[in-house]
Structures are given as structure tokens and as C-alpha cells.
Amino acid sequence: MQGRQHVRLTQFSDYSLRILMTLALDPGKRFTIGELSKRHRISRNHLTKVVHRLAKDGHIVTTRGQGGGVSIAKSTSSATLGDIVRSTEPDFAMAECFRRNGFCRFAPHCTLQTVLSDSLRAFFAVLDQHTLGDLVRDPLPLQRLLDSPAGPRKSASRSPARSKRTFQPVQ
């Protein structure tokens, strides 16, 4: 199955990163959940859960009442992507042998867990090299996409480099 390998974050993490990027683009502004929901085409109910978690983890600040909303916490722009992903993903049990009380007959003599652990460390080593601020360093193109009424358009024809995103192990 060469070329069909996928490593995915949960939708929750994806939404969390997009919301944090939006807030980081305009750090002085408060956004309502309704505004964010509309801009990103995310259901209000799902977004409310994302915002709750991001606030609980200290990534954003929520303000109730008239003129309230959500804004980026001052320290979040310097947070590494690794820190954010660790706080939004439920676990990183890549195989049965990673799970507590997991069962695998090969466990006593298998090196798969070591290989997967190494790949997970490499994954986080890359994420830990980048901050949320790095993602919004060139804000103008991102801001234009957010401000366009239709939002980003999905292209029917993607370039080959973008259409097949595969996990490339670090060597």
C-alpha cells in the first residue's frame, strides 16, 4: 500500500489549531463562537467544546457578556505545536501494545513498539520546533482567506504535491 499511508490528528485537534491560528492573526480582537463557527464552517456545538478545552488549557481567554468572546492568551503564540497537539489529542496509542492492559502475543519479543515510539518522538520533535506564531508569521494571505465571504474555495484540481499527503518517516 505504498503511497496510501495516513497519519491524522483528530478533527478536534484540527479545529483547535485553526481556531488558535485565527485568534493569533488578530490577537487584540475578541471573536464570538458564532463568528468562528461561520468562518470555519464548524458546528457551534462542536466549536463550543473546542473553545471550552482551549480555555481550560490556558490557550485562549473567554469573556462573558456584552462585548465578550474569545481571544488568544498572550503566551499561546509562543506555544509549540507539540504542546498544543499533546493537549488536544486524547492519546497516542498507536498500536495495541501502547494501551494499558492491551494484549499482543508478540509483546515479549517484538520491536514494533520501539519503532513506533521512535516515530512518535520524531513527530513531536518536529512539532516542538514550531510555534503557533510561526504559523501566522505571514498573516496577510491567511487574513484574506478568513475575510472573504465565501471562505476558502476547494479546488477541483489539486497539484500532485498537495493531493497525496503521505507520512514520511524521519530517517
* 1 part of a folded domain: no
* 53 part of a folded domain: yes
* 6 part of a folded domain: no
Q: Quick check: helix, strand or coil at residue 64? A: coil
Measured distance CA(54)–CA(62) in Å, rounded = 10
Bridge partners of 60, per DSSP, are 72
> Exposed (0-12), middle (13-18) or buried (19+): which is 141, by Cβ within 10 Å?
exposed
| pLDDT at residue 82 greater than cutoff 80 | yes
Share of the chain above pLDDT 70, in %: 81
Number of domains in the chain: 1
Over residues 28-55, the mean pLDDT reads: 93
What is the residue type of 153?
A: R
* 169 part of a folded domain: no
Of residues 32 and 138, more confidence is placed in 32
Over residues 113-134, the mean pLDDT reads: 91
| CATH number of domain containing 45 | 1.10.10.10
Question: What pTM, to 2 d.p., does this model score?
Answer: 0.76
- DSSP conformational letter for 76: G
Bridge partners of 80, per DSSP, are 131
Closest-CA residue to 42 (of 21, 68, 12, 71): 12
Provide the 10 A C-beta neighbour count for residue 11.
11
Over residues 122-144, the mean pLDDT reads: 87
| pLDDT at residue 80 greater than cutoff 50 | yes
Over residues 144-158, the mean pLDDT reads: 58
* 146 part of a folded domain: yes
Over residues 109-115, the mean pLDDT reads: 82
Least confident of 46-50, 104-108, 139-143, 167-171: 167-171
Domain that holds residue 121: 11-150
